[in-house]
Amino acid sequence: MINRVYILVFLFTSIFGVAHAQKDPNAKAVLDAVSKKYQSLAGMKATFEYSYAMSGESAQSQSGEIAIKGDKYHLVLPEQGQEIFNNGKTVWTFINSGGYKEVTINNSNEMEDELKPSSVYTIYQKGYNYKLLGEKNINGVLVQEIELKAEKSGAPFKKVNLWVDKNKKDLVGWEITDDQGGKLKYQFKSVDTSLKLADDYFVFNPQKHGKVEIIDLR
């Protein structure tokens, strides 16, 4: 009986220790610092490169621009002729291709399964375990790499790797592994955090774009 008690205690403490270790306090300290800095900004703009590839395929890079303020963002993908506006409540996806203009409107809460540019700074706070993998040099910048793994197997994003400027506590890039094994990688090329962006910058105004077909799915 005593031996059984010792075994149960050992198993319990071992399981608890593993579960606790899944939330690496060193990683959390870095993530909290990045999130706090981001939340304090009146606005930021950045240019970036991104790529997507399924396992075994070669990735092709494209470029884009992003503006972020709180839970709002304005994403520009010029090579796709696409702009996305999100004011925290409504999402406008605007396509301008070959003279044809179309905007699709959705409620923001209907796109919760997507990793939005504004939520990458806070994704670690719910549904993910995380650990600090170490440090490395990216384009002359000393960065800390943090790995996030989904707590549940059915999560749309299986794993997210974040790269953080160790000194400035800026997010410089991230890589998402989805539930199909595909990898989406972002890397910031330039970042301006000194901006004050008005709320209407994140709202699509059809009057500025001429004749546009409107598809309202709300």
Spatial separation of the C-alpha atoms in residues 77 and 123, rounded to whole Å: 23
Q: Give the 3-state secondary structure of residue 6.
A: helix
Beta-sheet pairing, 100-107 with 213-216: parallel
What token pair was written down for 182?
A: 């595909």
CB-based contacts of 36, cutoff 8 Å, min separation 6: none
User: Which range is least confidently modeled, 83-92, 153-162, 194-203?
Assistant: 153-162
* Cβ neighbours around 18 below 10 Å, total: 9
Spatial separation of the C-alpha atoms in residues 138 and 61, rounded to whole Å: 17
Identify which of 195, 186, 192, 205 has the alpha carbon closest to the alpha carbon of residue 83.
205
- Digit-coded pLDDT (tens) for 130-147: 999 999 998 888 999 999
Spatial separation of the C-alpha atoms in residues 187 and 165, rounded to whole Å: 12
Q: Are 183 and 177 in contact (CB under 8 A)?
A: yes
Q: Is the dihedral of CA 35, 39, 42, 48 positive or negative?
A: positive
Domain 25-216 has CATH 2.50.20.10: yes
Q: In a 10 Å sphere around its CB, with 0-12 CB exposed, 13-18 middle and 19+ buried, how is residue 105 labelled?
A: middle
The domain locations on the chain are 25-216
- Digit-coded pLDDT (tens) for 23-51: 899 999 999 999 988 888 899 899 999 88
Spatial separation of the C-alpha atoms in residues 123 and 44, rounded to whole Å: 19
Q: Are 78 and 85 in contact (CB under 8 A)?
A: no
Q: What integer pLDDT is reported at residue 113 of this predicted model? A: 52
pLDDT value at 77 more than 50: yes
Residues 97-124: what's their mean pLDDT?
Answer: 79
Spatial separation of the C-alpha atoms in residues 24 and 215, rounded to whole Å: 45
Query: What is the band of 116 on the pLDDT scale with cuts at 50, 70, 90?
Result: low
